[in-house]
Amino acid sequence: MSKILKLFSGSGAISIIAIVLGLIVGAVVMLIGGYEPLLAYKSLFSQVFGNTYDFGETLREITPLILTGFAFAFAARAGLFNIGGEGQFIVGMTAASVIGIKVHGLPIYIHAPLAVIAGGLFGGIWAALVGYLKAKRGVNEVITSIMLNWIALYLANFIVRHFLLMEGKQRSEDILPTASVSFPWLSDLMDSARIHWGMLIAVLCSVFFYYFMWKTKQGFELRAVGNNPNAAQYAGMNVGRNVVKAMFISGIFAGLAGAFQILGVFHYQSIMSGSPGTGFDGIAVGLIGMNNPFGILLGALLFGTLTYGSAGMSFGAGVPPELIRIVIGSIIFFIAAQGIVRGIIKPFYFKRKKEKVL
Amino acid sequence: MNSATPVVELKGITKRFPGVVANDSISFKLFKGEIHALLGENGAGKSTLMNIVFGLYQPDEGSIEINGEPVIIDNPNKAIDLGIGMVHQHFKLVEPFTVTENIILGMEPKKGSNLDTKTAAARIQELSEQYGLRVDPYAKIHDISVGMQQRVEILKTLYRGADILIFDEPTAVLTPQEITELMEIMRRLVAEGKSIILITHKLKEIMHISNTVTIIRRGKVIDTVKTSEASPSILAEKMVGRNVTFKVDKRAAAPGGNVLEVRDLFVKNKEGATVLNGLNLNVRAGEILGIAGVDGNGQTQLIEALTGLSKVESGSIRLNGKELANATPRQISESGIAHIPEDRHKHGLVLDFSMSENMVLETYYKEPYSKRGFLDYNAIKKQAQRLIQAFDVRTPSAETKARSLSGGNQQKAIIAREIDKNPDVLIAAQPTRGLDVGAIEFVQTQLIAQRDQGKAVLLISFELDEIINVSDRIAVIYEGQIVGEVLPEQTNDQELGLMMAGSTVAGGVRHE
Ligand SMILES: Nc1ncnc2c1ncn2[C@@H]1O[C@H](COP(=O)(O)OP(=O)(O)OP(=O)(O)O)[C@@H](O)[C@H]1O
Ligand SMILES: [Mg+2]
C-alpha cells in the first residue's frame, strides 16, 4: 500500500496544484465575464452534494469516465495513443443493446453478465483492430482509431435503425429487464438516482489495472514495449503482439463503459446525431490522473463532479455551463506544462529540503 | 581581462541526488586557451558537474564565476548567453533536417518574415573553414557519419558564440581516424582563443592533448595536475586509488570445436542495400574472436543478424549445429547466445525501468522471477542486488531508475546481466565504451574468464588496442565480408589499419 502511495505522491502534488490553478483560471474568466466566481463554485458544489439524488447522479456521471480514462491510460502505458475510446465506447453500447434486446429467455444472472461481457469484448475487438493494423502494417494508431470512431457511430445508428428500432421513435426498444444492471435498492435509497453495478466494477477495474500492469509478467512486457520498443525486441518480447494486446484490453475498458451506460443508465440506445464524447473525455481523465489507475479514479471524480455541477453553476450564478470546460482544459494544460507547476512549487520544495538537511 | 582570471571558476559545488552526493564541494578553474581534462571513475560526478555549468542542474551549494563575475546559470540559454557551449555524448539533432537548419534551430535568422538560411549557411561555411571542420551546411543529418554529426554539434556551439566548450566523452562514439581529426579540431579551437573542458576515460587522449587534468573520485576533487608532469599510470592510480596495469593477464587459449558457424551470410539494411556480402566466420569454444573494422562495414548488421534483430536474406547461422538464421531474439537467447549491445540506450536498457527490472529484462518470464504469470519482485530484487554487488555497479539502490545511473554504470549493469545468463556464445559489441580504466580492466578480465570457462566470445570493437589485447584471433571485416584473419601477437596497428581499409596486400599476408 505504501508503494501505491509513493507511486502517486510525486505526481500527485503536481495534479493537485494544477487543479487549483485550473479553478483559478476559471474564476478569472468568470470575473472578466462579469460573474461571481465564489458563488459559482459554491453552487457547483451544492448542486453535487446538495441532495442524495444529485449525489447519486454525480456518481453515474463519474463511472463511464473512470472506464474510458482507463482505456486511454492503459494504451498510453504501452506507448500507444488510443484516441479511439469513443468508437470503442459506442461499439460496447451497441453490443450490449443487441444482447439486451434480442436475447430472450435467460435468467438475470446470465443475461446481464452476458450483455456486459459482449460490450467489453466488442470494444476490445474494435481497439485490437487498430493494434493489429499498427503491428502488421505499421499504420499509425491515431489515424485508424479516428476513422474507426466514425465507422462505429454510423454502424451503431445503422444497427439501431434496422434491427432494434422502437416503432416511430429515434431510439431502440428497451432492453429486457433481465439484462439490466441497475441497482434498484440503492437507487430507491437515493431518490431514484440511476445507480448501477458498473460503478463497483469500474472501481474493481482500477485494481485489475494496477495488478496487471505492475505485478504480472504481461504487464512488464507492455511497459517495456511502451517505454522502449527496441529494448523490448532485444529482450525477446514480441512487440507486435503486445501492441495488439494493449489495445484489446484498453478497448475492453471503453466497451464496458458503453455497456454500462445502456444496461445501467438508459436501458435503450438512441440514434445519435453526433458522438457522445465520453471516450474523448476519457483522454482528459487519463491525463489528469497521469495514467495511473488510482489517479484516474480521482481524475474521473473531479471531471464528473465539475461536469455534473456545472448545471448548478448556471442556475445559481448564471454562469454558462460550458465554462467548466475552460476549467478542465486549464487543468490539463497545467498538468501537461509541468514546468510551470514545478516553478510554482519550487520555493516551497527547496525550503522543505533545506530544513531536512539541517 | 586579466590573464590570471580563470574563464570558469567553480567554488565549492555540491550536488546531491537521492542516495548519493554526486559532487562534494568541488572547486575547479579553467583558464583561457587551455584544454582541461576531467578524469574520474564511472559515476564520479563528471557529467553532473558539467551539467551544472551548462545550467541543466542547479547546485545545492557553491557558486560559479565566469571571467571573474559571479553568475547564476539556471538554464542552458543562460549558459549560451555566457558563451558556454556543450557537446553532449548523445547528440541532440533533428535527423531529417539539414546541418544549417539544425544549427539555427531555436534562433532562426529572419529577413523580413522569411527564414534567412542563405546567410546562416554562409556563416556556417565560414566557421567550418576557420576551424577545419569540413562540414557541408546543406547535408542532411541522417546522411552524415557520427563523427560529422559531432562536428555539427561543435559548429552549433560556435555559431552561438561559445568561447568555453565542454565535451562530454566526445571520443566514445568515434573511430580512431575520427578521434585524430577531433584532436586536431580541438587544437585549432584553443589556438583561436577558445577554452575547453574535456571529459574522457582515455588516458592516451588526455596525455596527448590536455594542458591540465583534474581528477575526481566519488564526487570529490583528488588533485589537479599539469599534464606535462603526469603519466598514465599516475593518473590511473589517482583516479581509482589503486595500481592499474593496463595489460590484462591472459593465458594462451585452449580452443575446442566450432560453437558458432556463419556461412555465406547475406543481409540487407533498411534502405535495401546489401551490407553483408556472403560473410563467413567461426568462433570456437574457449576462444575470443575479435572483429576489427572501420565503422559501417557491416558490424551492426552482423550483430543484428546473429541476435535475431534483423532479417537474414540467405546463408546460415549455426550454434552447436542448430540453425538459427531468422530465429526470434527469444529463441536465440534461449539457445545460448547473450548479447552486450553496442547502443546501451537504444537496445540495452529501458531507461525508465528500475535497475531491478532491467536486470531481468530478458529473463523476467522464467522462474523464480515469474510464478504463474505474476512477478516475484523479491526474487528480482535479490538477483539485481547480487549482480550490482558482483560487478560493482554504482547505484544508490536496486530501485533506482536506469536513467539516473552514470553512463559507465549503465554499461556495467548490462554486462553483468549478459554474462550472468551463462551463455555458450557471448557477443560483446563495444563492451568497454564509456568505461573508466578500472572498469575496462574488470570487463576485459570477465570476457577472458568466460573464454576460460569454455565459452565462445565474439568481440566487436573499434578500439584496436582492445582487439589486440583481448582477442585470441582477429578477423577483419570490410564491405560486408571477412577479408582476412591475423593472430594478435603477430600483428600491429599499422597492419590491421591497412587491412581494415580494404588493402588486399595486407589482407593477403597470412601468419601461419
Ligand atoms: N538525474 C539523476 N538522478 C539521480 N542520480 C543521478 C542523476 N544523475 C546522476 N546521478 C548520480 O550521480 C552520480 C554521478 O553521476 P555522473 O553521471 O555525473 O557520473 P560520471 O562521472 O559522468 O560517470 P560516467 O563516467 O560513468 O559517465 C552517479 O552516482 C549517478 O547515479
Ligand atoms: Mg558521464
Q: Is residue B194 lining ligand 1, measured as CB closer than 6 Å?
A: no
Tell me: do B366 and B477 sit in the same domain: no
Residues belonging to chain B with any Cβ–Cβ distance to chain A shorter than 8 Å: 307, 309, 328-330, 333-334, 339, 341, 346-353, 357, 361-362, 364-365, 370, 373-375
Geometric angle at alpha carbon B39, from B36 and B45, rounded to 5°: 110
**Residue identifier of the C-alpha nearest atom 25 of ligand 1:** B42
Q: Do B330 and B391 fall into the same domain?
A: no
- Contact between A121 and A87 under an 8 Å Cβ cutoff? The reply is no
Q: Are B228 and B140 found together in one domain? A: yes
B1 occurs within a structural domain: no
The answer to whether the CB atoms of A236 and B330 lie below 8 A apart is yes
What residue in A sits closest to B329 (Cα-Cα)? A236
ipTM: 0.86
Nearest residue in chain A measured CA to CA from B347: A231
| CATH of span A61-304 | 1.10.3470
Longest Cα separation, chain A: 77
Q: Of B403, B419, B435, which residue constitutes the final position of a domain?
A: B419
B116 and B185 belong to one structural domain: yes
Question: Residue B22 is which amino acid?
Answer: A
Q: Quick check: is B400 in a domain?
A: yes
Residue B279 shares a structural domain with residue B187: no
pLDDT bracket for residue B230 (50, 70, 90): very high
pLDDT digits (tens, 9 = 90+) for A306-337: 999 988 888 888 888 888 889 989 988 888 88
Domain limits for position B266 = 245-336+423-512
Atom of ligand 1 nearest to the CA of B57: 1
Residue B60, Cβ neighbours under 10 Å: how many?
18
State whether B220 and B131 are in the same domain.
yes
Strand stretches in B139-249, DSSP E: 164-168, 195-199, 212-217, 220-226
Last residue of a domain, one of B400, B419, B438: B419
Pair B392, B268 in one domain: no
The residue extents of the domains of chain A are: 61-304
**Is B377 in the same domain as B484?**
no
As a whole number, mean pLDDT of residues B122-126 equals: 91
Q: Residue B2 domain-assigned? A: no
Instruction: Collect residues with CB below 5 Å from ion ligand 2.
Output: B 47, 407
Number of structural domains (chain B) is: 3
pLDDT tens readout for residues B166-177: 999 999 888 788
Strand B61-66 to strand B35-40: parallel, antiparallel, or no bridges (unpaired)? unpaired
Angstroms from B37 CA to nearest CA on chain A:
33
Give the burial string for B253-292 (b: 16+ CB within 10 Å, else e). bebeebbbbbeebbbeeeeeeebbeebebbbbbbbbbbbb
Q: B57 and B150: one domain?
A: yes
C-alpha cell at A128: 485490437
Give yes or no: residues B298 and B436 share one domain.
Answer: yes
- Which three three-digit cell numbers place residue B490? 603477430
The rounded Å distance from CA B6 to ligand 2 centre is: 24
Please give the grid coordinates belonging to residue A281.
473525455
Q: Is the CB of B43 under 6 A from ligand 1?
A: yes
Q: Is residue B3 in a domain? A: no
B395 in the same domain as B471? no
Ligand 1 in contact with B481 (CB < 6 A)? no
Confidence band of B501 (pLDDT split at 50, 70, 90): confident
**Segment B328-381, tens digit of pLDDT:** 999 999 999 999 999 899 999 999 999 999 999 999 999 999 999 999 999 999
Write the CB contacts of A25 (distance below 8 Å, at least 6 apart in sequence). Answer: A326, A327, A330
pLDDT tens, position by position, A61-119: 999 999 999 999 999 999 999 999 999 999 999 999 999 999 999 999 999 999 999 99
**Same-domain pairing of B214 and B255:** no
Q: What is the phi/psi pair of residue B306, to 5°? A: -65, -30
Chosen domain end from B374, B398, B419: B419
CB contact under 8 A, B364 and A234: no
CATH number of the domain that residue B435 is part of: 3.40.50.300
Residues B18, B383 contacting (CB under 8 angstroms): no
Say what the pTM is. Answer: 0.87
